[in-house]
Structures are given as C-alpha cells and as structure tokens.
Amino acid sequence: MKKIEMSYMRVVLLSLWLVMGVGSAWGQETTDDFVKNKYKAIVAYRQAANCYYAMDTIVSNYKFGTQSVVVLNEKVFCEDDIAKRIAWTCENNTLATFGKGYLKYTSETNITLNYKTSYSWSINEQQQIYDKTSIRFIAYNYNSGNPRFGAYVSSNSYPKATLMDFATDEDGYMRTGLSAGKVGTICLARSVRAGNVVGAKIYTIVGKILDSDGNPTDIVLEEITNGLIAGRPYIFIADSETLVAAYDTDSEAVTEASDYNGLYGVIGDTHTVTDSEQNIYAITNNTVKAAATGTTIRDCRAYIDMSKVPVYGASSAKSVITFSIGNAYTGVTPVSNDMITDDAMYNLNGQRIVTPVKGQIYIKGGKKYVER
C-alpha cells in the first residue's frame, strides 16, 4: 500500500511541475531564468553514436530514462518541455527534482528517488557524479534494449555522466518545428564559429540564373562551413527537426543586419515589404516566391532583393546547387553548364541589355566582359 501511495505522489508532483511550467513563465521567472539560475542537466556522451544523452527525472525499476540533447560550448540546448524533464538541482552535493525527489544510490547498479531525506553524492573535477561509498558513477547504459542511466563501477565502459549548464538566449539560437529538407533563412546578431551549427546546412547566395528574356529562374547557393558572420543573412536546409547555433563566446552582438549578394537580413525587429520595394522575394513553404506588399519578414530571418543578386557565372563558386524560383525545393540540384550558356547580354543588376555602352561591364554566357 505504501508503494502505491508513493508512486501516486510522484505522478502528482510531476504533473504539478509540468502544468506550472507551461508557457513562457514559471512562477515569477521565465523558463530561461528557471533553467539558467537553478538547474543543471546530467549528461553523457556516447562517442559511437556521436550523441549526447541527458538523464530525465522519471525513475523506473531503479533506472532513469534518457533524452537526446545538443551540447555546444559545454552548454545543453533543448526545447523548454525537454528542459523541464531533465532539470536537476545541485546543492551541497545533493541532486533533486523539482518535486524534491532526491537522487539516491541503493545497491549494485540501482538508483532511485527519495522524497523524505536527502542523499549526498561526490562530484569530481570533471563534474562526474559518483557514490562516495561504493565508488559507482552515474553512467549511460546503452547496451540494454531500453537504454537507461544507472550507477556503474569506474572500470565499466559505459559513458560517465557529467553535470552541465543549460543554454539560454545568451548562449545561442534555436529554430524548432523543422523537418529534413526544410528550407529557411537565418540572420543572427552574434557570430558562430565553424562546427557550432547543428541540424542544418548553411548556404549563401552566389548568383541567379536568367532565362532568355532576362527573368530569374533559379538562385545559386554555395554551402558555408567556416561559421556565421554576425548580422549576415544565410539560407539553410534542415536535416533534423531543430536547428541549433551556439554563439562565439568572444563575439559582440550587432544591432543592424547586413546584406550579401541580394540577401537582406532582419535583426531585432520585423521588416514589412512596401510598395516602393520591387523584386523582393521570400522563402515560403520551401519555395522562393515574389513577396507581395505587406509581407512581413520576422526577426532572425532574411529576404531576397532579386535586382541585387548578381548573375551567376561558372567561375563564381566551386561547389554550388540551384534553387528553382516558384517551385518547391525537393532536393539538391547541381548547376549544369546549359543553365549558364545564355547568349543574351546583361548588366550587373541582371537586366537584359540590347544596346551595350562602351566601357561598361556586362555579363554574357555566365562571364563578365567590358564592352569596347
């Protein structure tokens, strides 16, 4: 009977936590403040899977479940609902859930929650957690059919867990609700070092391809692998449900976005397309479309001024793909030679020229030349 009552109490406490955590506020603090100031995550890295796993706060059969998370710059990035499931207080070497369930070692590989008395753990310089009597470490058991966190001897090959801080808006940027192949734009106020973007490939515009009448048919993209410049806009193609970018810890935030090859960023506010703006395009529903007057471009995103996108030439970039205008993106399309062999003449703004002017620079067949 006592076991049933205790299980019921755990469910009630967890339910209260989840209900109170819904939305942007928890008590008088935002969720950001909640995870930043009071809680940590218990995380293990499995090298073979190249993945980080966090220990959640629900115990079953003396083991704890897992949640996959992103770790960049030694901070845990995850959505708010996941953060609430994996958050632990760490005070005076005790580890506890929101409902004051104290993490406790029992015997062998078993750990559990105790709602009556606290339990003291030891934490070494690497922030690894172990029971000071049995010298068993909290570790991630990936061999079982149902991976779990438990307590294991130091010689065991299971990845040892460490205490980590949660990331907040000061540490990076997250875009959720994506899916593999989803195309979007991104423009961040702070720079991001190479390797610190997860969940998407990043591209920049290197040009546009025109038809025989001088109308744009495709934009040409080049993948960027050397990090993101603060304030510069980019296009991304997602390969997971969440894009995460960790800011360079030494970078300063910019207050204004820049443009690059006709891609214009938006930072700190929104941009609404006006009547005076011509040739403005936006990426909507995986499609590059002309943006009507009144279209709103949100913060941390970008739009295209097609008149400012240079005509693509074969030597513009080494490895590029095309994105057809007006058609939904369905996959990578390499640039083919017949796409850039147009014999028509264009100026640097992509406008078709019938009568060239001596001394001016024009583009023909994808190459620049000076009219003589």
Q: Assign 3-class secondary structure to the chain.
A: CHHHHHHHHHHHHHHHHHHHHCCCEECCEEHHHHHHHHCEEEEEEECCCCEEEEEEEEEECCEEEEEEEEEECCEEECCHHHHHHHCEEEECCEEECCCCCEEEECCCCCEEEECCCCCCCEECCCCEEECCCCCEEEEEECCCCCCEEEEEECCCCCCECEEEEECCCCCEEEECCCCCCCEEEEECCCCECCCCEECEEEEEEEEEEECCCCCEEEEEEEEECCCECCCCEEEEEECCCCEEEECCCCCCCCCCCCEECCEEEECCCCEECCCCCCCEEEEECCEEEECCCCCEECCCEEEEEHHHCCECCCCCCCCEEEEEECCCCCCCEECCHHHCCCCCEECCCCCECCCCCCCCEEEECCEEEECC
For residue range 113-155, what is the model confidence (pLDDT) as tens digits? 999 999 999 999 999 999 999 999 999 999 868 899 999 999 9
Q: How many CB atoms lie within 10 A of CB 348?
A: 13
The average pLDDT across 336-349 equals 58
Mean pLDDT score of the chain: 84
Q: For position 220, what pLDDT does the model report?
A: 92
Q: pLDDT tens digit string along 37-49? A: 679 999 999 999 9
- Parallel, antiparallel, or unpaired for β 259-260 and 243-246? unpaired
What distance separates the 2 farthest-apart alpha carbons in the chain? 97
What pLDDT does residue 27 have? 30
Rg (CA), the chain: 27
CA–CA separation, 364 and 354 (whole Å):
12
What is the pLDDT averaged over residues 252-258?
A: 95
Nearest residue to 338 (alpha-carbon basis) of 356, 317, 322: 322
pLDDT of residue 350: 56
What does the pLDDT look like over 291-341, one tens digit per residue? 999 999 999 999 999 999 998 876 545 578 888 888 877 765 666 555 554
Extract the tokens encoding 214: 């001088």
CATH number of 2-166: 2.80.10.50
- The reported pLDDT for the residue numbered 7 is 35
Cα separation, 209 vs 366, in Å, equals 9
Q: Give the Å distances, CA to CA, from 282 to 66, 110, 303, 334.
A: 39, 54, 5, 22
What is the pLDDT at residue 153?
Answer: 96
Show me where the domains of the chain are located.
2-166, 172-340
Mean pLDDT on 81-108: 92
Do 64 and 58 touch, CB atoms closer than 8 A?
yes
Round to whole Å and give the CA distance between 184 and 171.
Answer: 22
**pTM for the predicted model, two decimal places:** 0.79
Mean pLDDT computed over 346-351: 62
